[in-house]
Amino acid sequence: MPALKIEHLAKTYPRKRPLFGAAPPGVRAVRPMSFQVETGETLGVVGESGCGKSTLARMLVGLLEPTEGTIEIEGKALGTADPSEFGKLIQYVFQDPQSSLNPRKTIRQVMEAPLKRLHGMAKPARNRRIAEIFASVKLREEFLDRYPHEFSGGQAQRIGIARALAASPRIIILDEPVSALDVSVQAQVLNLLADLKTRFGLTYLFITHDLAVVEAVSERIVVLYFGAVVEIGRADRIFANPRHPYTGLLAESAPVVGRSLAAPEQKGIELPDPLNPPPGCAFAGRCPRATDLCRTREPELKQMGEDQLAACHYPLEN
Q: For binding to ligand SF4 (CB under 6 A), which residues are involved?
A: 244-245, 281, 283-284, 287, 289-290, 294, 299, 312-314
Residue 299 binds: one of other proteins, ligand SF4, none (C-beta under 5 to 8 A by kind): ligand SF4
What's the rounded Cα separation, in Å, for the pair 175 and 8? Answer: 21
β 203-208/171-175 pair status: parallel
Contact indicator for 1, 166 with CB cutoff of 8 Å = no
- The footprint of other proteins on residues 34-63 (CB under 8 A) is 48-50, 58, 61-63
Nearer to other proteins, 234 or 295 (CB): 234
Query: Interacting stretch for other proteins, rule CB under 8 A, among 2-10, 24-32, 146-154, 302-310?
Result: 146-154
Distance of CA 164 to the CA centre of its chain: 15
**Backbone conformation region of residue 203, classed left if phi is above 0, alpha if psi is from -120 to 50, else beta:** beta
Residue 53: CB atoms within 10 Å = 23
Applying CB under 8 A, among 31, 129, 158, 163 the residue interacting with other proteins is: 163
Applying CB under 8 A, among 17, 34, 99, 131 the residue interacting with other proteins is: 99
Contact indicator for 178, 44 with CB cutoff of 8 Å = no
> What minimum distance in Å lies between the beta carbon of 53 and other proteins?
11
- The footprint of other proteins on residues 264-293 (CB under 8 A) is 264-265, 267-268, 270-273
Number of residues that bind other proteins (CB under 8 A): 81
> What minimum distance in Å lies between the beta carbon of 285 and ligand SF4?
8
> What minimum distance in Å lies between the beta carbon of 218 and other proteins?
7
| Dihedrals phi, psi of 39, to nearest 5 degrees | -60, 135
> What minimum distance in Å lies between the beta carbon of 253 and other proteins?
4
- The footprint of other proteins on residues 198-257 (CB under 8 A) is 209, 211-213, 215-219, 235-236, 239-240, 249-257
What's the rounded Cα separation, in Å, for the pair 305 and 309? Answer: 8
β-sheet with 203-208: strand ranges across: 90-93, 171-175, 203-208, 42-46, 220-225, 228-234, 309-310, 302-303
172 binds other proteins (CB under 8 A): no
Total residue length of the chain: 318
Applying CB under 8 A, among 122, 259, 288, 306 the residue interacting with other proteins is: 259
